[in-house]
Structure 1
Amino acid sequence: MTLVSMAYRTVDDIHPFRPDQAGDLEFLLFRQDGVISRRQALRYMSDKAIRHRLASGRWRVAHLAVYVTHNGPVTEHQRRWIAALAVGRGRAAPLAGLSALAGGGLRGFPTRPIHVLVGAHRRDTDPPPGVLVHRTRRIPLEDRHPAGDPPCTMPARSMLDAAQWARTDEDAVAIVAACFQQRLVGLVDVEPALARMPRLHRRQVIVAAASDAAGGAESIFEVDFARLCRRAGLPEPSRQVARTDRHGRRRYRDVYFDQWGVHVEIDGAQHMDVKAWYADMRQHNEIAIAGERLLRFPGWALRHRPDEVVADMRAALVAAGWQPDRGD
């Protein structure tokens, strides 16, 4: 008996296929959208049976020891299963960050690469193309989604990871704002998740963004803006000034420098919404038609990019006729 045939016999002895297991296999394939790992398949069939399915074209290799049990196009959902099973070495590793959020319904962000989370001790030198493997010291039970499909982290943990892995602070703030605006998370979920991640990268930016997105950000931003103007020696602006547009409708501006016709809008989480965004555009067109100036800043920039905000404000006021050396 050859070593190969001995291996087949050993696998069959450990995992003998029984007709009553067919229903379990069908359920597994249904749950995993037609994707299965070699490790899982050997619970229900022999290595020879797996090879026959591959040779006949009924199954095909998606990645090392991961198979797709059909010969049609691979869907995005199946790609997530392939990533989870490949990185987990036969057992599904949890999706994380934007990939977990996409599975939960987050809109407006790219679905590639696929982010997978593993323990810090694990090494994966050959993940599937388009898959990023992240390592963590621990994934508490509270951060594991009980019904993830594929397995994934909870929305609050997913948002925090996505924000700390984002390319820039601006991208991180956009992710946090979108998660709140699209009702995927609330402060009641985020605060305990933050407590479980003491080493969170970009923590100050993320905490401020979550606090702002949770509600009441606009009035806070306006106070911050007024303080910033005073510190920089800029004129004192008016806040929440009512204006009448060309159609006779009353509009409110966040900040308005009356004497120089300079408007300022401070954007919070509500500006992630497409309808609100278009309504803002219409209002901004009204300002341009009236021949006045408009500047827009995201709320987080007041706290994390104050020098840039001041520089833009100073340039706009000077262009409108303000003379800094003479004061107001």
Structure 2
Amino acid sequence: MRLPRDDASGLEWLLFEQSGIVTWAQATAELTPATVRHLLASGRWQRVCRGLLRAAPGGPFSQDEQWWVAVLAAGEGAVLAGLAAARAGGLRGTWRYEVVDVLVPHQRRATDLLRRLPPGLPAVRARRVRQLPDADRQRGRPDRTSMARSLVDAAQWARTDDEAQEILAAGCQQRRVTPAEVGAVVDRLPRARRRSLIRETLRDVAGGAEALSEIDLVRLCRRHGLPMPDGQERRRDAEGRIRYLDAYWRRWRPHVEVDGAHHMDARHWAADLRRQNRVWIEGDRILRFTAFDVRRRPEEVAAQLRAALSAAGWRP
């Protein structure tokens, strides 16, 4: 929505802050009930469900509107949580959620509005919590859990272990949060689901592996008795830009690239080939594996990596 003028009314500012979604009580605090009914009858406003209004004539709900509907429908004290909260905080990724999670105070149940949301809006799931420390809460539009708490909850509620790890790794890789900040949240949640997996993922991320495929590679090395890579190596390319190698062993100079889905793009593929050539020119050995092979064919990957390290002088 467009930023209101300095002399705008309280309602205009409220609609701006809440992406055009208000409760009946909020609207009638600024306008008479008759005026609100007229706005609805004329089609200028829309009734989302009983007690919840949208200051727009209709059409698909934007993501911001969906988040506000979820928080306001859940009632007083509700905050956006999980993957939706992480996205509101700027996390990028392809994960989809069919349910918007919100946290509500444990002493009360969520309102009946959550069961009355119309088609076209994602379902809202209210999760009661006994306490939400200030460190786990973040002011925003709407209020939400902190990025670290959002990632831990998203990992708890993810459909699979792989998805949980991907979300955690992405949050750290995109510099939205540090492993230490996520670890502090886990310390406060002794009954968190996937607690061991989250801690293991954080240890690998802190060791330099940030993408899930790189984490899988580190675990493969540990499982097959291979030396640990030195993490992401900084290199300056021919244009002077800083690039990172997925895994590098400085002592023996093998370099491993793990190719994800983006390598199927022709532009990425051509750029990767040029970068690979420069690595060879500088004297390093380079091995390339798909993320699928690292995860599903670990014995083959380990055998080739062992051969490359041995040829470079490594002895078990």
TM over 0.5: yes
Tell me the alpha carbon deviations over residues 197-249 of structure 1, each in whole angstroms, 9 at most, x when there is no partner: 1111111111111222234348997775445225xxxxx78978xxxxxxxxx
Q: Once the two structures are superposed, what CA deviation does each residue of 1:27-79 show, in whole Å capped at 9, x if it has no partner?
A: 21121122111122232233333212211222111233111112154322112
C-alpha separation in 1, matches of 2:79 and 2:180: 23
Q: Note the 1:296-311 alignment, pairs <5 A.
A: 296=290, 310=298
- Contact 2:205 2:215 (8 Å CA) reproduced: no
Match for residue 206 of structure 1 among 189, 198, 206: 198
CA distance in 1, matches of 2:36, 2:228: 73
Match of residue 172 from structure 1: 164
Give the Å deviation of 1:159: 0.5
User: What CA distance in whole angstroms lies between the structure 1 residues aligned with 2:274 and 2:166?
Assistant: 22
Flag structure 1 segments of 5+ consecutive residues without an equivalent.
1-21, 231-235, 241-250, 256-262, 287-291, 318-328
Q: Is the 8 A contact 1:116 1:131 kept in 2?
A: no
Give, in whole Å, the separation in 2 of the partners of 1:201 and 1:278.
42
1:228 alignment counterpart: 223
128, 134, 141: which is aligned to 1:142? 134
Equivalents in 1 of 2:184, 2:228: separation in Å?
A: 38
**Secondary structure in 2 aligned to 1:67?**
strand
User: 1:80 and 1:25 mapped to 2: Cα distance?
Assistant: 19
Q: Does 1:83 align with 2:70?
A: yes
1:183 to 160, 164, 175: 175
Distance 1:33 1:227, change over 3 A: closer
Q: Which has the larger radius of gyration?
A: 1
More off after superposition, 166-175 vs 131-140: 131-140
Q: Secondary structure at the match of 1:133?
A: strand
In the alignment, which residue of structure 1 is the partner of 2:13? 27
Residue 314 to residue 193, structure 1, CA distance change in 2 (3 Å): closer
- Contact between 1:57 and 1:71, CA under 8 Å: does it hold in 2? yes
> Higher mean Cα deviation, 200-209 or 171-180?
200-209
Q: Out of 32-41 and 113-122, give the one that drifted further.
A: 113-122
Residue 37 of structure 2 is matched in structure 1 by 51
What is the identity, as a one-letter code, of the residue corresponding to 1:79? Q
Instruction: Tell me the alpha carbon deviations over residues 278-318 of structure 1, each in whole angstroms, 9 at most, x when there is no partner.
Output: 866777899xxxxx9854559xx8xxx8xx6655558989x
| Residue range with higher mean Cα deviation, 114-123 or 168-177 | 114-123
For residue 153 of structure 1, report the CA deviation from its aligned partner.
0.6
Q: Give the secondary structure class of the aligned counterpart of 2:79.
A: coil
Q: Over aligned residue pairs, what C-alpha RMSD do you find? A: 4.6
Matches of 1:156 and 1:42, distance apart in 2: 37
What is the match of residue 163 of structure 1?
155
- Letter matched to residue 96 of structure 1: A
Q: Distance in 1 between matches of 2:86 and 2:53?
A: 25
Taking the aligned partners of 1:56 and 1:142, their CA distance within structure 2 comes to 43
TM-score (norm 1): 0.63
Find the counterpart in structure 2 of residue 66 from structure 1: 52
- Supply the distance in 1 between the matched residues of 2:81 and 2:142 (Cα, whole angstroms): 10
Q: In the alignment, is the contact (CA less than 8 A) between 1:83 and 1:127 conserved in 2?
A: no
Indicate which of 82, 85, 88 corresponds to 1:100. 85
Assess, with a 3 A threshold, how the Cα gap between structure 1 residues 25 and 111 changes in structure 2: closer, same or farther. Answer: farther
My pick for the range that moved more, 34-43 or 209-218, is 209-218
In structure 1, C-alpha distance between the alignment counterparts of 2:300 and 2:258, rounded to whole Å: 14
Give the secondary-structure state (helix, strand or coil) at the position aligned to 1:39: helix
Which structure has more helix as a fraction of its residues? 1
- Indicate conservation of the 8 Å contact 1:34/1:70, yes or no: yes
C-alpha deviation, 1:130, in angstroms: 0.8
Q: Distance in 2 between matches of 1:187 and 1:314?
A: 28
Alpha-carbon separation, structure 1, partners of 2:52 and 2:88: 21
Give the TM-score normalised by the residue count of structure 2.
0.66
Matched letter for residue 204 of structure 1: S
Unaligned 5+ runs, structure 2: 1-7, 231-243, 250-254, 279-285, 306-316
Give the share of equivalent positions with the same residue, in percent: 38
The secondary structure found in structure 2 opposite 1:43 is: helix
- Report SS of the residue matched to 2:30: coil
